[in-house]
Structure formats: C-alpha cells, structure tokens
A = this chain, B = another copy of it.
Amino acid sequence: MSHEKNFRRVMEGVHEAHDGMKPLPRKKFKKPDTGNLDIETIARGVQSGSRLYLGKAITLLESSNPEHKQNGQELLNQLLPFTGDSLRIGITGVPGAGKSTFIETFGEMLTSLGHRVAVLAIDPSSSLTGGSILGDKTRMEELARNPNAFIRPSPTAGTLGGVHKKTRETMLLCEAAGYDIILVETVGVGQSETLVRGMVDMFLLLVLTGAGDELQGMKKGILELADAIVVHKADGDNVRLAKRTVAEYKQMLHFLQPATESWTTRPIAASSVESTGIPGVWEMIQEFEIAVKNSGFWKRRRQEQTKDWFRSMITDELHSRFFDDVNRRQLVTVLEKQVLSDELTVAQAIVRLFE
C-alpha cells in the first residue's frame, strides 16, 4: 500500500526526477550526415547517454549501405566492453492486453526511481497487419518525452532472424548508452516470442481477465516462456475478476514447467490506468533478479543465449548465401512442388538441389 502511495508521489514528480544526463541539443544534429561523423565521436556520444547519438548508432547498424553497416559493427565492437549491465525484460501479450499502456506506466515508474529505460519492439508481422507496434505515434507519448527513456520501434524489413539480430545489437548499444533496464516488446501471437525469450533475462506475459478464453488467441507454449503473468486491466469492475484469474493461472502454472531455473512463475494483477500493482510487478522482478543471480542461472542463461545466437546466425548466413542465387530459389520452389506431389522423395530433391 505504501508502495502504491510512494509510486503515485514519484509519478507526479517524474519529469523533474531524471539523472541529469541531457541529450545533445536537438537542432544542431537534426539531420546529421552519418558519413561525416567518425565512429569515435558517435561512440563517445552514445556513452554520454545521448539519445540522439544512440539513435544514429542504431541507424548505422540497421543500414543496408555496406559502409554504414561496417561502421555500425565497428562501433558496436568499441562499445562491447560497456554492454551487458542491464536488466533485460521481454514483454508480450495478445493485442488488446494493453502492452503500451503498461510499458508507459511501468517505464515512468522506473525512470522516477532513477532508472534509465529503453523500449525496443519486435514486430515482424507488421508488414502483414499493416502497422508496426510502435508505428502509432500517439502511443507511449509520455514515455517518449521522458529524457530517461528511449523508445525504438523494430526495423520492419527483413527476416525474423534479421530483425532478431538487429534487436540484439540495439540492446547492446542501449546498454552502452547507460540504459539499465531494457524492455523488449513483442506481440503475443507470432514467432517472435521465442526469439525474444532467447535474448532477455525475464519474460512477462500480459493477459486480460478470464484466463481460458484469453489463451485461445495466444501462441502455443507461450505460458511456458513466461516468468510472470500480469493480469492486466485489473481496475474498476474488473478487480474481482482479476483476482479470480490470478487464482486460475496459479492453478494452471502448477502443471507447467517454469521458464527459469530457481524461479516459480507467478501470476500478479495490475492496472496501468489506476497504477495499482505496478510497483508490485517491479518488486517481483527484483526478487526474480536476486533469486536467479544467486542460483548462478542468470549468467549461465546469458552464455547459453549468446551461444544460441551465434549458432542461429551461422544458419542464417548459410541460408542467405545459398539462396542469394535466384536460380536456386526457383529450383527450390520447383522441387518443393515435385516433393508435395510425390514425384520426388525429399532426399532426392536435396540431391538435385545440391548437385
């Protein structure tokens, strides 16, 4: 209860509470020519905590221009010693679960406590649904204006693997820029959740009240990726229902394997509109951090994640080199048809493809 009060108090004073790191003057760098900025300057700018330089650095990494790309990689390499020192949190939920509102309220609270928060979004499906998660400018308006927050939508182009790679690299840059909490947002219906789980320390699943129905729209196995289930919009008439939903999830979680060694996945009710339960979520996250760091699993998971990332990048590279050739891509299509119509065995198709 005192948490809630404290939270409301800090929320009101939030815009005075940042840690003094000022972005570089906007006008001067409004459209800086990346070609003219040397890597050292950008690296220094990123480390100074400048959102503008951070943005430039990310743009370099995402660029399709080979020179820019290479500069981006060199930059990342220079900054690598200053990465890794953040709490990486994945946040997912079905559309309508209120992810943006949650991130906005949660992010404001974190900055009010002195943290610097970066929000990254992965949304490879945006080309299908017609809009990126963060494409809508009206979303997270408050947080976007907060000088201790940095919001970056996902690159909308490219393969899932590519988007994944860029999000990981962006995460590292944000860490070098002094962001100590990284929130990676993803929609809870696609393939990106497993990827996000593979790059964060903790994974939150946002759901609405009424567990059973809610889960129908969600991806299989997503419950088992989560370290915490936030029953969101637990406000007004929903409060009682939310309590019941928390109980339902508690029961259900009993049957599932927890996502993280040394931690039992926990359901918790919260409202971003009434700002209730949000400090409780943060408390739980801190509890999680202590428990998992103490057990040694924290470090082990990060090492495993890096290994997996390296391996999946090898596969990606092998694929993109192989399919670089348009004739080969066409051949695969033809062979696939023959396999599906039982004219060829899969093994034979493979032989033809590689001969």
Report if A321 contacts B (CB, 8 A): yes
Tell me the number of copies of this protein: 2
10 A-B pairs with the lowest CB-CB distances in the bound complex, closest first: A221-B221, A318-B318, A220-B224, A220-B257, A252-B255, A313-B350, A310-B346, A309-B346, A76-B345, A212-B254
A307 close to B340 (CB less than 8 A): yes
Chain B: minimal CB distance from A91 (Å): 20
Having A76-B345, A218-B257, A223-B256, one finds 18 other A-B pairs with CB under 8 Å, namely A73-B348, A73-B351, A77-B348, A211-B255, A212-B255, A215-B255, A216-B257, A220-B221, A221-B224, A303-B340, A309-B346, A310-B335, A310-B339, A310-B349, A313-B347, A314-B322, A314-B353, A318-B322
B254 close to A321 (CB less than 8 A): no
Q: List 25 A-B contacts (CB under 8 A).
A: A73-B345, A77-B348, A83-B342, A165-B347, A168-B346, A169-B347, A211-B255, A218-B257, A220-B256, A221-B221, A223-B255, A248-B255, A306-B346, A307-B336, A307-B339, A307-B340, A309-B346, A310-B335, A310-B339, A310-B349, A314-B350, A315-B315, A315-B319, A318-B318, A321-B354
Give chain A's interface residue range (CB within 8 Å of chain B).
35 or more
Chain B: minimal CB distance from A129 (Å): 20
* B-side contacts of A354, CB under 8 Å: 317, 321
Report if A96 contacts B (CB, 8 A): no
Q: Mark A residues whose CB is within 8 Å of B.
A: 73, 76-77, 80-81, 83-84, 165, 168-169, 172, 211-212, 215-216, 218-221, 223-224, 248, 252, 254-257, 259, 303, 306-307, 309-310, 313-315, 317-319, 321-322, 332, 335-336, 339-340, 342, 344-351, 353-354
